[in-house]
Amino acid sequence: MTSSLNSFNSKTTLDVGGKTYTYFSLPLAEKNGLEGISALPHSMKVVLENLLRFEDGSTVTRDDILAVAKWLKTRKSEHEISYRPARVLMQDFTGVPAVVDLAAMRDATTGLGADPQKINPLVPVDLVIDHSVMVDSFGTAGSFTRNVELEYQRNGERYEFLRWGQKAFDNFRVVPPGTGICHQVNLEYLAQTVWTKDENGETIAYPDTLVGTDSHTTMVNGLAVLGWGVGGIEAEAAMLGQPITMMIPEVVGFKVTGKINEGITATDLVLTITEMLRKKGVVGKFVEFFGPGLDFLSLEDQATIANMAPEYGATCGFFPIDTDTLQYLTTSGREADRVALVEAYAKAQGMFRETASSDPVFTSTLELDLTTVVPSISGPKRPQDRIALDAAKSAFAKALPTEFSKTDDPKINVDGTDYAIGHGDVVIAAITSCTNTSNPSVLVAAGLVARKARALGLDSKPWVKTSLAPGSQVVTDYLDSAGLSDDLNAIGFNLVGYGCTTCIGNSGPLPAEISKAVQAGDLVAASVLSGNRNFEGRVNPDVKANFLASPPLVVAYALAGSMNIDITTEPLGTGSDGKPVYLKDIWPTNHEVADIVRTHVTQEMFKGRYSDVFKGDTHWQGIAVDDAETYGWNSGSTYVQNPPYFENLKMEPAPVTDINKARILGLFLDSITTDHISPAGSFKGNTPAGRYLEEHQVAPRDFNSYGARRGNHEVMMRGTFANIRIKNQMVPGVEGGFTKGPDGTEMAMYDAAMAYQAQNTPLVVFAGKEYGTGSSRDWAAKGTNLLGIRAVIAQSFERIHRSNLVGMGVLPLQFADGESWQTLGLDGSETVTIQGITQIAPRADVSVQIVSADGKERTITTRCRIDTAIELDYYRHGGILQYVLRSLVAA
């Protein structure tokens, strides 16, 4: 790190609290040739500091650094840079396959006659086990204990494997189950805003930066930590010392003015911002917030907004360091000398925002007056589809025929009860996910709604599955302290676990009688959740309409039990006095919320919960593992298997070849998400994955979820393109993972792919716009590779998935403007030939020959979406993992 060429003479020292820190000064660099950089956005200053610190004349050159200064004139750039984050954050769904790959790389290294200890993270890696708890038990005092027991029963093999990794790898820490969501643990404990490292007798200070294997890594942008989600593939390369290559980004400035009105929540605000930024179009861009309105947003509000960056499409949603940053670091228990360093460093670097600070230079800007924000939800299928709360009833009524093709209104009696359910009835109400549970104001508001409802004699409707899954144990502490846990429990919002539950598809099954009624009537049942994702098929297989809402609104909809009620004007229910109870009767004031937050959220709670965060409970401590350098694979395991990526690996990669006479496996429309490609929810026995598990003597009740089985490629490749709501246009009118096989018959995508593999026939996929949006799921690319898909041809790609496809040796090609598979009239029976791959170059034109079943030939020109030279190296090696492994062994 200290071997920087230091072309701009920016290396200097900073004295704070009697300690000397070495750092790379932006003001000095500005004086020594980087004219005007003090006007850069704060997020770009972090990138520039990174380049100054890592300037080596090879991966980072003087020209790379100058290109950032030139950005001030053009405000956009095609210049490629190499960026090195300080650390990597993983959650267990994406982290398990990453550690599986590391273990497999150790085996491959041994096979090449090299030392397996060459395979170790070279930067700090934290893995937080937070995605495996499911809401099996709910609405009782024992729900949390029961769900934890089931979590360990289901995931013993995975947890044993992670315990081995914790011992086997250097620079690798595991936060055990039941601690909290990775993003909130990051915000409350792991992140430091300014990072330090002792090296060669110096203590070097630099901005805290990271990449994470979950797209909502961006939540920590609220703490002025630059980080974003990448695929597990990219994260593995980063932790093995590879720089992340990227174009110098555009930075969209989002100006905030005014102050939110009485009764408005941070969730209402973030849904408004998400809608605005989606309309503007910020995919692949940085978003940075500025303006006087920041003075009226808490750090937790900022984290809520930053968390939703994937939903508004940005790489990050960055907030600069200010007094709120320092206050939060102090309240959450960071050491006083760290807080002092953050303040001194930020002010020395021109990275400290104050009310009178001048506005940075941005590529473009947009503005929101906070006084215009109104109560909102979003849905029924996308987070950017905001609905004003007073229009929610009419919006759902409109969606029934347009989104769900329903014109009837059945009422299905629920067995063993005295009630019936129909379209729009809320069967899941979940306070869940990192988006909101990082924010005490909305959780306290939910508790106060519960308190007031309880006092008036209201209860959740009996058909609603209610749950509370905080992102941190600290949440329980302050809810308990304020007495609000009792109120939430009284109406069914008992603690079910600390982790990502409903939002990731771990909502657990509906009660059998509810599920039966939903299926019998083919009902459009609804969920209301305080999460960030509501894509179709994600939350629960029985639930078609999913709405994002603030935690207090989640409680309100549990009380109402239906989307067919205008909860702004119609009663939620009847109180114990026989009178109707309205939302206004139970909605807390801003002052009530603030008073409880101020009194009951304390530094002692954070310090107590994080004092021994890596120790874990008795379940975790009881897992025994050996100390072997390489993992002892269990061939009978259905959770963890040695992946095939490194089989017969040689030091010299085989040359890439053209794609000749490929068949089409899928024709897809716009907005195919990584949830569609590689779902993380539950699955049934009649699926390829289910059949595989049953063949291995796993009963359907023990299937767990795709996410929990991400360490087994056999399950995951069978789950690729298997989402229950995906629509392959090769089989019109059919939902689910189906296509046409070699003989033209309809079959599962996996079965067709294996039939083509048996014939040595390569495959391609065609798609529309925004292909691969959604969570940064490496398995969406890994599964694509393992099915034998050599290329994906789409109108546009989401950045993480495009990168991951290249990282798995799959060629992404982009249609010319105005062209699509529809304009070409494709039906899936065609053959596709892509030539010139041996001479392919980043972003070059590539000819694609398409031959129809009747022999008609045509050739189109596409754009190669291998975007950079290093990505081309990855592709030629068969993938990024093979490239890194060969590099490490050669070194």
The CB density around residue 872, as the number of other CB atoms within 10 Å, is: 18
What's the CA gap between 79 and 557, in Å, rounded? 49
Q: Encode pLDDT of 460-478 as tens digits.
A: 999 999 999 999 999 999 9
Residue 187, SS3?
Answer: helix
Residue 823, token pair as written in the block: 């304009």
Q: Encode pLDDT of 319-364 as tens digits.
A: 999 999 999 999 999 999 999 999 999 999 999 999 999 999 999 9
Strands, DSSP E only, in 802-842?
811-814, 831-834
Give the single-character DSSP code of 495: B
Q: How many helices (H) and strands (E) does the chain have?
A: 31, 34
Q: Encode pLDDT of 214-223 as tens digits.
A: 889 999 999 9
- CB-based burial, 34-60: b 16+ in 10 Å, e otherwise: beebbbbbbbbbbbbbbbbbbbeeebb
Strands, DSSP E only, in 491-587?
526-529, 545-548, 573-574, 580-581
What's the CA gap between 760 and 780, in Å, rounded? 22
At residue 366, φ and ψ (nearest 5 deg) are -145, 165
Q: Encode pLDDT of 285-311 as tens digits.
A: 999 999 999 999 999 999 999 999 999
Closest CA to 102 of 239, 255, 307, 260: 239
Residue 836, SS3?
Answer: coil
Res 2 pLDDT > 60: no
Q: Are 563 and 407 contacting, i.e. CB atoms less than 8 angstroms apart?
A: no
Whole-number pLDDT of residue 776: 58
Q: What is the DSSP string of 681-738?
A: S---TTSHHHHHHHHTT--GGG---TGGGTT-HHHHHHHTT--TT---TTSTT--SSE
The CB density around residue 124, as the number of other CB atoms within 10 Å, is: 18
Length of the chain: 891
Residue 534, SS3?
Answer: coil
The CB density around residue 150, as the number of other CB atoms within 10 Å, is: 18
Residue 321, token pair as written in the block: 């360091």
Per DSSP bridges, beta strands 286-290 and 316-318 are parallel
What's the CA gap between 752 and 748, in Å, rounded? 6
**Measured CA angle at 514 (ends 511, 519), to 5 deg:** 120
Give the single-character DSSP code of 255: E
What's the CA gap between 543 and 524, in Å, rounded? 7
What's the CA gap between 773 and 784, in Å, rounded? 15
- Alpha-carbon dihedral of residues 338, 340, 343, 348, nearest 10 degrees? -100
At residue 221, φ and ψ (nearest 5 deg) are -60, -25
Architecture of domain 644-890: Alpha-Beta Barrel (3.20)
What's the CA gap between 755 and 749, in Å, rounded? 10
Task: Tell me which CATH homologous superfamily contains domain 89-371.
Answer: Aconitase, domain 3 (3.30.499.10)
Res 876 pLDDT > 90: yes
Closest CA to 515 of 554, 545, 541: 541
| Helix or strand holding residue 270 (H, E) | helix 266-280
Q: Are 97 and 640 contacting, i.e. CB atoms less than 8 angstroms apart?
A: no
Q: Are 419 and 518 contacting, i.e. CB atoms less than 8 angstroms apart?
A: no
At residue 288, φ and ψ (nearest 5 deg) are -130, 135
Whole-number pLDDT of residue 627: 87
Q: Which positions ≥6 away from 760 have C-beta within 8 Å?
A: none
Whole-number pLDDT of residue 789: 98
| pLDDT band with cut points at 50, 70 and 90 for residue 169 | very high
Share of the chain above pLDDT 70, in %: 100
Q: Do domains 89-371 and 376-601 have the same CATH topology?
A: yes
Q: Encode pLDDT of 489-540 as tens digits.
A: 999 999 999 999 998 888 999 999 999 999 999 999 999 999 998 888 789 9
Domain ranges of the chain: 22-83, 89-371, 376-601, 644-890
Give the single-character DSSP code of 190: I
Q: What is the DSSP string of 375-392?
A: -EEE-SS-TT-EEEGGGH
- Of 14-18, 238-242, 660-664, give the lowest mean pLDDT range: 238-242
Q: Are 746 and 731 contacting, i.e. CB atoms less than 8 angstroms apart?
A: yes
What's the CA gap between 330 and 555, in Å, rounded? 31
| Per-state percent for the chain, helix, strand, coil, to nearest 5 | 40, 20, 40
Whole-number pLDDT of residue 433: 75
Residue located via tokens 């004092």: 611
Q: Does domain 376-601 have CATH number 3.30.499.10?
A: yes
What's the CA gap between 196 and 348, in Å, rounded? 16
**Measured CA angle at 814 (ends 775, 717), to 5 deg:** 45
What's the CA gap between 495 and 476, in Å, rounded? 8
Residue located via tokens 């959450």: 332
Res 269 pLDDT > 50: yes
**Measured CA angle at 54 (ends 53, 57), to 5 deg:** 125
What's the CA gap between 273 and 222, in Å, rounded? 15
At residue 422, φ and ψ (nearest 5 deg) are -145, -170
**Measured CA angle at 42 (ends 121, 287), to 5 deg:** 85
What's the CA gap between 778 and 787, in Å, rounded? 14
Q: Are 462 and 419 contacting, i.e. CB atoms less than 8 angstroms apart?
A: yes
Closest CA to 763 of 803, 730, 716: 730
Res 1 pLDDT > 50: no
Q: Encode pLDDT of 417-473 as tens digits.
A: 999 999 999 999 999 978 888 899 999 999 999 999 999 999 999 999 999 999 999
Q: Are 443 and 551 contacting, i.e. CB atoms less than 8 angstroms apart?
A: yes
| Helix or strand holding residue 861 (H, E) | strand 857-864
Residue located via tokens 């990282």: 807
Q: Are 412 and 425 contacting, i.e. CB atoms less than 8 angstroms apart?
A: no
> Rounded mean pLDDT of the chain?
95
Answer with the residue of higher pLDDT: 682 or 182.
182
Quick one: CA dihedral 497, 502, 508, 512, positive or negative? positive
Q: How far is CA 190 from CA 126, 172, 332, 429, 452, in A?
A: 8, 13, 11, 30, 36
At residue 295, φ and ψ (nearest 5 deg) are -65, -20
Residue located via tokens 């071997």: 3
- CB-based burial, 174-199: b 16+ in 10 Å, e otherwise: bbbbbbbbbbbbbbbbbbbbbbbeee
Give the single-character DSSP code of 670: S
Q: Which positions ≥6 away from 170 have C-beta within 8 Å?
A: 120, 121
Whole-number pLDDT of residue 834: 98
Share of the chain above pLDDT 90, in %: 87
Cis, peptide link before residue 380, omega less than 30° from 0? yes
